[in-house]
Amino acid sequence: MELPTIGSPALWLGFLGFVVAMLALDLGFFHRKAHEVRMGEALAWSVVWVSLALVFNLGVFHWFGAERGLEFLTGYVIEKALSVDNVFVFLMLFSYFKVPAAYQHRVLFWGILGALVMRGGFIAAGAALIHSFHWILYVFGAILVVTGIKMLLSRNEEVRPDRNPLFRLFRRFVPAVTEYRGSRFTVVENGRRLATPLLLVLVAVEASDLVFAVDSIPAVFAVTQDPFIVYTSNIFAILGLRALYFLLASGLQKLRYLKVGLSLVLGFIGTKMLVAGAYKVPVGVSLGVVAALIGGAVVTSLLLPEVKASVPAADGGGPEP
């Protein structure tokens, strides 16, 4: 099966050059010094990344037509929605390791840089599989449906990085100090290079993204088999992930129905892949369904906040006179 793509070598090089330039500008200028990212700064960067994605989307619409433009927009919305689950895991990891607020941006920057490379490898492998074995799309669809069901039935369990095989392997073979040493990932003591807890957090972040990539990348392949559209929509969503984390971290618990919306999105996309041989769901319809499910989950969470049960005071339990 031939995979049509709009991604000429010049487009690939241009996009990768843009990503490298933005990351260099981010770390080398705007975040050269470690500091706690405030709500206003996170909101500003979120607007920047979303605006850049939409400008890119307009370019795709203009030069490659409405169908490719809708494919990018749908893939971007799906990835942006699924990245909220990453935010929840980051929040748990930073809490578990007691990472100082001033160093969290540095961890996420390098974690996302690793994710860019990792996602590229996953997408290349996925495109090669689809090219050779078209039936792999049905496997992707089944994975998404099962993942959606598991997400719907799962409870908010505590994140335990010590149970992750990759993380445990790293801790076993890499000597480390037990205290943070500023924003450094490694230190030299007594002639030995040692990892700091910040490097352990980075490994945990990368391991968690590896798990999320297994779900999110097949989801975009359900919308389009163009590797360039799949990669660019993934990357724009990932580039805005740090700002999204600092924007949502304090209020994420209020969106208690969001996980339900995400699970339904995965179920819908997986079903779409499974029935693709009999009926191809239009891209515009997919975009509308995904937006409705995510928007409905957010609105429902805001309109129906969690009601905490009041504990009646025991008899004689009042304050002492």
Separation of alpha carbons 64 and 58, rounded Å = 10
| Nearest of 270, 298, 301, 302 to residue 286 by alpha carbon | 270
For helices 258-274 and 66-97, give the axis angle rounded to 10 degrees: 140
Q: Which amino acid is at 193?
A: R
**Average pLDDT of span 240-248:** 84
pLDDT-wise least confident of 164-178, 204-218, 219-233? 164-178
Q: Residue 191: left (phi > 0), alpha (psi -120 to 50), or beta?
A: left
pLDDT-wise least confident of 38-47, 178-187, 244-253? 244-253
**Every domain of the chain and the residues it spans:** 10-303
* Alpha helices in the chain, H assignment, sequence order: 9-25, 39-64, 66-97, 101-132, 136-153, 165-173, 197-221, 227-239, 241-248, 258-274, 283-303
197 CA to centre of own chain: 23
pLDDT-wise least confident of 30-44, 137-151, 226-240? 30-44
Q: Is the pLDDT of residue 244 over 70?
A: yes
**Average pLDDT of span 115-120:** 86
CA angle 203, 120, 270 (to 5 degrees): 95
**Average pLDDT of span 28-55:** 80
Q: Residue 5: left (phi > 0), alpha (psi -120 to 50), or beta?
A: beta
| Nearest of 212, 193, 192, 214 to residue 204 by alpha carbon | 212
Tell me which residue has tokens 């937006």.
291
| Nearest of 224, 213, 218, 222 to residue 70 by alpha carbon | 224
First and final CA of the chain: distance in angstroms? 82
SS (H, E, C) 155-179: CCCCCCHHHCHHHHHHHHHCCECCC
pLDDT digits (tens, 9 = 90+) for 58-106: 999 999 999 999 999 999 999 888 888 778 788 888 888 888 888 888 8
The confidence score (pLDDT) of residue 53 equals 95
pLDDT-wise least confident of 2-6, 109-113, 128-132, 179-183? 2-6
Query: Which two three-digit tokens encode residue 157?
Result: 């369990």
Q: Is the dihedral of CA 22, 24, 228, 129 positive or negative?
A: negative
> Which percentage of the chain shows pLDDT scores above 70?
85
The confidence score (pLDDT) of residue 49 equals 92
